[in-house]
């Protein structure tokens, strides 16, 4: 696994627990909406994102599909796969109608779909800072369309990112219109390209991960809000942890293969935990009192709109699933708030510079006593 790629192991990263958990939660539940990681240089932001490749699960995709469509989700197929599915259904119906009713059902069930699938591993797709809009969204060959009456589409980065993790380093330095395209595609799950009255669309569902150094500028508030989670990371202040960071990095550079092999078991354990959480997620429940608590927190902290509330619930459910629990608890809501609210609050009633579950719990308790 990681020994083949020699990518720095995710489990070897010292500290930065919130950043690592935010990334894991998005892998378990991509509908959370991605994560923005903000922090000074040298705090393992890029290392953590790229090391996800060691944890990402395998997935079933339609064989030879350039968009890696997921079979079984008709509403998420590209145009070509949809056409193949329709043709397959027509052929199957035609064959079934020609079979006499006296033939056993086993013969009917032996007629398999012509759409072949294959297993591929999810990957981390990088979006370079200097990428043009055409490179990101893809291009339509207008001349080909005019001459032949058919659309010819050259895929871009969003096509490669479908079903994967799309990583944008220094996202605050991207042109605003590129960021808009990314966030729109992430929200809708579709990339639409229009040129000279000709349009083409394809699925573009991905986990968007952005990293940035706030010293180099910030994102617009409306763009910040489109990220499901935000994590602020800082350098380690504990001497022992800083020494561990140094030693592990030196060991990795000395012998990458051996270092990665030493963490293979730990990586596998995290991968198993992610798979287990994905299986539990769809049955996790939350009671009405916690829904009310979520709404009260959002109102009291002056959060605009309802995106924060919904994202907080999704995140809390994912936290419960990661802990192999089927019922959301109060602590899950408070922990989710740490990830979901800091970049959305109009005002900060806390003395600390960052929101913590403990500070939030104390603040809620104080507010309830004042009522």
Compute CA 160 distance to the chain's CA centroid, rounded to the nearest angstrom.
14
Q: In the 3-class helix/strand/coil scheme, how is 20-87 assigned residue by residue?
A: HHHHHHHHHCHHHCCEEEEECCCCCHHHHHHHHHHCCCEEEEECCCCCCCCCCCHHHCCHHHHHHHHH
DSSP secondary structure of 219-234: --HHHHTTSSEEEEE-
User: Which of 137, 139, 125 minimizes the C-alpha distance to 208?
Assistant: 125
Bridge pairing between strands 153-154 and 198-203:
unpaired
What are the E-state strand segments in the chain?
35-39, 58-62, 117-121, 124-126, 139-140, 153-154, 165-169, 190-195, 198-203, 207-212, 229-233
Give me the residues paired with residue 200 across strands.
Answer: 193
In angstroms, the CA 317 to CA 25 distance is 10
Burial class (CB in 10 A: 0-12, 13-18, 19+), 17: exposed
Give me the residues paired with residue 167 across strands.
Answer: 126, 209
User: Which of 76, 194, 67, 178 minimizes the C-alpha distance to 133?
Assistant: 178
User: Which of 347, 267, 268 minimizes the C-alpha distance to 303?
Assistant: 347
Question: Catalytic: which of 307, 344, 346, 347?
Answer: 307
Enclosing H/E stretch for 205: none
* Distances, alpha carbon 22 to alpha carbons 88, 277, 340, in Å: 41, 14, 10
Catalytic annotation present for 307: yes
User: Which of 152, 164, 138 minimizes the C-alpha distance to 70?
Assistant: 164
In angstroms, the CA 172 to CA 152 distance is 33
In angstroms, the CA 107 to CA 224 distance is 56
Active site amino acids? 307
């Amino acid at each position: 696994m990681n020994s083949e790629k020699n990518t720095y192991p995710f489990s070897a990263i010292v500290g930065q627990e919130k950043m690592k958990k935010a990334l894991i939660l998005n892998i378990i539940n991509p509908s959370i909406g991605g994560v923005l990681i903000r922090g000074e240089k040298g705090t393992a932001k890029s290392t953590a994102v790229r090391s996800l490749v060691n944890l990402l699960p395998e997935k079933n995709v339609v064989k030879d599909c350039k968009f890696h469509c997921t079979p079984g989700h008709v509403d998420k197929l590209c145009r070509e796969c949809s056409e193949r599915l329709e043709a397959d259904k027509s052929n199957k119906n035609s064959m079934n109608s020609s079979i006499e009713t006296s033939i056993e059902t086993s013969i009917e069930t032996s007629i398999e779909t012509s759409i072949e699938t294959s297993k591929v591993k999810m990957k981390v797709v990088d979006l370079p800072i200097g990428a043009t809009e055409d490179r990101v969204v893809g291009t339509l060959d207008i001349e080909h369309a005019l001459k032949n009456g058919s659309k010819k589409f050259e895929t871009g980065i969003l096509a490669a990112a479908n079903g994967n993790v799309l990583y944008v380093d220094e996202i605050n330095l991207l042109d605003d219109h590129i960021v808009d395209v990314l966030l729109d595609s992430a929200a809708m799950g579709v990339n639409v390209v229009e040129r000279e009255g000709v349009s083409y669309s394809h699925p573009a569902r991905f986990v968007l991960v952005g990293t940035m150094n706030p010293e180099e500028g910030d994102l617009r508030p409306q763009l910040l809000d489109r990220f499901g989670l935000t994590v602020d990371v800082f350098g380690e202040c504990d001497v022992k942890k800083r020494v561990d960071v140094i030693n592990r990095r030196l060991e990795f550079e000395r012998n990458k293969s051996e270092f990665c092999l030493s963490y293979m078991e730990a990586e596998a354990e995290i991968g198993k935990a992610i798979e287990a959480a994905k299986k539990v997620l769809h049955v996790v429940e939350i009671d009405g009192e916690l829904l009310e608590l979520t709404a009260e927190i959002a109102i009291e902290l002056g959060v605009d709109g309802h995106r924060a509330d919904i994202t907080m619930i999704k995140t809390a459910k994912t936290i419960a699933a990661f802990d192999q629990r089927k019922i959301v608890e109060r602590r899950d809501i408070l922990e989710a708030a740490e990830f979901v609210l800091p970049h959305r609050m109009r005002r900060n009633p806390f003395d600390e510079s960052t929101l913590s579950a403990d500070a939030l719990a104390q603040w809620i308790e104080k507010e309830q006593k004042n009522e």
